[in-house]
Chains A and B, each alone.
Chain A
Amino acid sequence: MNGPIALATVALLSLTAAAPAKAQTPLTEGIQIGLSTDAVSITAGFSGADLTIFGSLENPDPLVARQGRYDVIVVLEGPPKPVVVRRKDRVLGVWVNLDSETFENVPVSYSVATTRPLQDITEPNSYKQLSLGASNLYMQPADAGDSPATIEEFTAALRERKAAAGLYSENVGGVQFLSQNLFRATVRLAPNVSVGTHKARAFLFKSGLFVKESSAQLEIRKSGFEQSIFRVAHDYSFLYGVFAISLAMVTGWLGRLVFRKD
């Protein structure tokens, strides 16, 4: 039982030793986030959830903190995937998918949690530079030769559809300071959240200026019986097909045995 205590003492000593050396120059703030687990398993009945991410500010200026001039934005970004956006138009009275635009590396989901409304935290330009927020994500068209107006229209439609599906969301007030340097962020996981490696990123702003960023990775996977079926269907598709046929034949035969009328 001596080990942990000894370690704590060492840490304390190094802290006190480091403090006077750094006291000369103003301390730069930092931000750290921690996830209690690096993988989340979603079962069949998953109907969306709130994911809580804890984080802390390093070396916060007590005065700034008291005036509430620190702002934190936490983003949970899904794995990037190519997406096709299609637009329906009327052809002879019938609605037909006519124009389409393919985008590379579009995050499947993008949930944002903030201390305050985005427009109150910093300038639109710095969001753009950081490529932060669903409306500032750069969507790379696969065919860059298309007219800018078309690309812009389909980009807007892509964001709108993603938001409507609950995949791109914004939770204003989702980041709360629990103490001067401890904060808690709540980001939403949509019911149809995609599996894969998600990236959690935290951005620290001080009086409207970007200070620092920190990130962590989160693996989201589906578990349970249904997921096994999905895996088999994709990895052993031929056997799966044979199984589906056999199941149907046996059900038909059993149905005849159980309910026969002649």
Chain B
Amino acid sequence: MGIYLPIAEISVNVFVLLAMGAAVGFLSGMFGVGGGFLITPLLIFYNIPPAIAVATGANQVIASSVSGVLSHMKRGTLDFKLGGVLLAGGIVGSTAGIYVFGFLRRLGQLDLFISLLYVVLLGTVGGLMLVESINALRATRSGAAPVLKKSGQHNWIHRLPLKMRFRASKLFVSVIPVLGLGAGIGFLSSIMGVGGGFIMVPALIYLLKVPTNVVIGTSLFQIIFTSAYTTLVHATTNQTVDVMLAFLLMAGGVAGAQYGAKAGQRLRGEQLRALLALLVLAVAIRLATDLFVTPPNLYSLSGAGLN
């Protein structure tokens, strides 16, 4: 069944989009990530213009984050204060990102920049995760107990000034890295159409030493607002949010996420992480080949000041 997307201005198959949303929802439920980093490249592979894929991806991320935050709120695994500080940084980063986005779009370099960011970030995160999970798999196979980092261990981040206490996270840390992390994620969110969970979660765990159970809820909480802000600014400055497209993806995504969460419970943590790492790397490699393979058409047209 074909449907015409009003903003993307192309006809697409409803079932393909629903399936895409469901598949990504399944994976995001399984791995506990927003799925924006998968949705946006998938939309681009499906010939949705990158500018629209990014803005609509940000819109879609809100739905999955709301859904996740509600369950974390019930369990009490959400640090509102930490989320608030991350958010303050996020708004600044997001605003900067929107300007860069519009600027690159006028230059005709937006598509390239989005692809490069995806390749670099997904490649790095996927690679690190794969190495880490393979090591963990090896360790469990040889029967050794997993080596845990000592909680008292401090790094340079903990020597910065302007310290603040975050009770729910049992944390006493400078606000500078928290604001900076928020800003960085906000910037990526507006340029890549991702929530940024796949960077936020490891950063909170390894850099700020936030307890793992609080991390996902808090990250999702701040992602709701950052991506809502990103969606709003994209809608007003670039008119690239396609609600029809976003809704189809969300509808598939919310359903898929539940089955994914169920499936995820049957797999072990390090197996899950290894699978996710392979998936992330596959997306990165696919995007990277597009950058290097000679395109069928060297010339492209666009309206002046648009697209």
Task: Report B285-307 CB contacts with A as 1/0, cut-off 8 Å.
Answer: 00000011111011111111100
Task: Report B4-37 CB contacts with A as 1/0, cut-off 8 Å.
Answer: 1111011100000000000000000000000000
Residues of chain A within 8 A (CB-CB) of B258 are 255, 259, 261
Beyond A102-B304, A157-B299, A252-B66, is A244–B244 a contact (Cβ under 8 Å)? Answer: no
Alpha-carbon separation in the docked complex, A108 to B41 (Å):
29
CB <8 Å contact, B261 and A45: no
Beyond A84-B303, A85-B299, A161-B300, is A247–B246 a contact (Cβ under 8 Å)? Answer: yes
* Contact residues of B between 266 and 302, Cβ < 8 Å to A: 291-295, 297-302
Residues of chain B within 8 A (CB-CB) of A248 are 59-60, 62-63, 66, 228, 231, 246, 250
How many chain A residues touch B (CB < 8 A): the figure is: 59
Q: Interface on chain B toward A: helix, strand, loop, or mixed SS?
A: helix
Q: Does B212 contact A (CB under 8 A)?
A: no
Residues of chain B within 8 A (CB-CB) of A142 are 304
Residues of chain B within 8 A (CB-CB) of A234 are 239
Q: Does B42 contact A (CB under 8 A)?
A: no
Q: Does A94 contact B (CB under 8 A)?
A: yes
Alpha-carbon separation in the docked complex, A40 to B111 (Å):
34
Partner of B63 from the list A46, A162, A252 (CB cut-off 8 Å) is A252
CB <8 Å contact, A230 and B7: yes
Alpha-carbon separation in the docked complex, A95 to B253 (Å):
33
How many chain B residues touch A (CB < 8 A): the figure is: 63
Specify the chain A residue showing the minimal Cβ separation from B250: A251
Residues of chain B within 8 A (CB-CB) of A233 are 6-7, 235, 239, 241, 243
Specify the chain A residue showing the minimal Cβ separation from B232: A241
Residues of chain B within 8 A (CB-CB) of A260 are 71
Beyond A87-B299, A259-B255, A261-B262, is A252–B239 a contact (Cβ under 8 Å)? Answer: no
Known A44-B4, A84-B108, A253-B70; 10 more pairs at CB < 8 Å: A45-B4, A83-B303, A85-B300, A93-B292, A95-B295, A157-B298, A226-B5, A244-B232, A244-B235, A248-B62
| A residues whose Cβ falls under 8 Å from a Cβ of B | 44-47, 81-89, 93-97, 100, 102, 142, 154, 157-158, 160-162, 164-165, 191-192, 226-227, 229-230, 233-234, 237-238, 240-245, 247-249, 251-256, 258-262
| B residues whose Cβ falls under 8 Å from a Cβ of A | 2-7, 9-11, 59-60, 62-67, 70-71, 74-75, 108-109, 111-112, 116, 224, 228, 231-236, 239, 241, 243-244, 246-247, 250-251, 253-255, 257-258, 261-262, 291-295, 297-305
Closest A-B pairs by Cβ, 4 of them: A255-B254, A252-B66, A241-B235, A248-B62
- Sample (8) of A-B pairs whose CB atoms are under 8 Å apart: A85-B301, A158-B299, A160-B299, A226-B6, A233-B239, A240-B235, A242-B232, A245-B59
